């Protein structure tokens, strides 16, 4: 007779079997991956041939592409922060930062690309149309500045399609390119970008100059116009009262770094691309640094100033780039 509660040896064996099954189902740690696994991750999206042209339009020695991400209220909204304090910081970007930036661009006769979340365009359609009316480009920057790496494929695809349709309806022009929110790039982003028929992406950072994106070794026909955190105002000047994020860097010190980035691009005959945010760079003291940067780059006669779409069109033409599709 078995005494209730007595150890028959079956329970430990059953528990061990369940533990083994659990370990088998658990994702492997990266150090446990076989070569096929880590190669699959690395090769999914890679930099292909450089598209740095032998010459820029008009015989220019280098190219400059200013870009602005008018995120406005979408960053707090994305995180479910709906109180007036945070939203007012984004509102500053639209109310004060954008007009100040547009005046600077007009003063220096510079074109720019505005990567605009669709929710921002819906909140302020006249702002979105105003960019195009002034000769600037409007491109995709997510729906509500969502984190696409937290989305499933279908949700990411639906939002991207909705973004393209919304921007086209409001501005009257179909977007030519995309910058993913926070430059996040999921395993589905490339296929969705190509499905949209876009000319370029500006989210990846494998080079200083434009390049063609590969997928599993195959050319995709998609131009990458690489940004970089070095050439981004938010990493130096952002402020979050509840964390250690503080604007520790003086705007004029950031200006020195950006000048060096431009001078390096000019010396190499390449591209100087910069990413700025109206709610960050649009403040008075920071706009001083931005104007001084514009004065510095405009001090050269042999520089081509262009939108991201114009850059993509030129390097595509110079390279004879086809309309490939990735192997996913």
Domain boundaries, the chain: 46-319
User: Please, which pLDDT band fits residue 27 given cuts at 50, 70 and 90?
Assistant: confident
Where does the pLDDT of residue 2 fall: very low under 50, low under 70, confident under 90, or very high at 90 and above?
Answer: very low
Q: Which pLDDT band, with edges at 50, 70 and 90, does 99 fall under?
A: very high
User: Angle CA(144)–CA(200)–CA(293) in degrees, nearest 5?
Assistant: 80
CA–centroid distance for 131 within its chain = 19
Residue among 91, 110, 106, 101 at smallest CA distance from 68: 101
pLDDT of res. 327: 35
Least confident of 16-25, 258-267, 313-322: 16-25
Domain 46-319 has CATH 3.40.50.720: no
Contacts of 49 (CB under 8 A, 6+ apart): 211, 212, 219, 319
pLDDT: which is higher, 295 or 6: 295
- pLDDT tens-digit map of 110-121: 999 999 999 999
pLDDT over 70 (residue 18)? no
Nearest CA to 216 out of 40, 7, 10 is that of 40
pLDDT digits (tens, 9 = 90+) for 86-97: 999 999 999 999
pLDDT of residue 122: 98
Instruction: Name the percent of the chain lying above pLDDT 70.
Output: 90
Is the pLDDT reported for residue 41 higher than 50? yes
* pLDDT for residue 11 is more than 60: no
Which pLDDT does position 24 carry in this prediction? 57
CA distance 111 to 127: 16
pLDDT-based confidence at residue 244 (cuts at 50, 70, 90): confident
Q: How many CA atoms lie within 13 A of 205 on its CB side?
A: 13
Residue 22 has a pLDDT of 55
Q: Convert the pLDDT of each residue in 152-177 to its tens digit.
A: 999 999 999 999 999 999 999 999 99
Indicate the pLDDT class of residue 15, thresholds 50, 70 and 90. Answer: low
| The pLDDT of residue 243 | 80
Q: Sorting pLDDT into bands at 50, 70 and 90, what band is 250?
A: very high
């Amino acid at each position: 007779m078995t005494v209730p509660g007595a150890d028959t040896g079956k329970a430990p064996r059953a528990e061990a079997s369940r533990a083994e099954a659990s370990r088998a189902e658990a994702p492997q740690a990266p150090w446990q991956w076989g070569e096929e696994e880590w190669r699959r991750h690395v090769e999914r999206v890679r930099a292909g041939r450089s598209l740095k042209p032998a010459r820029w339009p008009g015989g220019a020695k280098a190219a400059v592409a200013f870009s602005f991400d008018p995120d406005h209220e979408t960053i707090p909204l994305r995180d479910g922060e709906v109180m007036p304090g945070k939203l007012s910081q984004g509102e500053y970007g639209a109310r004060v930062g954008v007009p100040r930036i547009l005046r600077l661009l007009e003063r220096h006769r510079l074109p720019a690309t505005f990567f605009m979340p669709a929710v921002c365009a819906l909140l302020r359609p006249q702002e979105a149309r105003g960019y195009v009316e002034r000769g600037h480009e409007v491109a995709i920057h997510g729906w509500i500045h969502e984190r696409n790496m937290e989305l499933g494929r279908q949700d990411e695809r639906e939002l991207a399609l909705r973004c393209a349709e919304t921007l086209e309806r409001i501005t009257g022009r179909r977007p030519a390119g995309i910058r993913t929110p926070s430059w996040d790039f999921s395993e589905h982003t490339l296929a969705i970008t190509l499905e949209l028929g876009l000319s370029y992406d500006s989210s990846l950072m494998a080079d200083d100059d434009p390049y063609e994106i590969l997928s599993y070794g195959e050319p995709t026909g998609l131009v990458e116009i690489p940004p970089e955190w070095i050439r981004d105002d938010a990493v130096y000047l952002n402020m979050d009262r509840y964390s250690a994020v503080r604007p520790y860097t003086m705007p004029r010190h950031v200006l020195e770094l950006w000048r060096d980035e431009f001078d390096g691009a000019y010396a190499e005959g390449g591209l100087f691309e910069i990413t700025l945010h109206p709610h960050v760079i649009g403040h008075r003291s920071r706009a001083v640094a931005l104007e001084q940067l514009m004065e510095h780059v405009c001090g050269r006669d042999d520089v081509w100033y262009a939108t991201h779409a114009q850059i993509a069109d030129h390097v595509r033409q110079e390279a004879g780039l086809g309309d490939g599709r990735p192997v996913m």
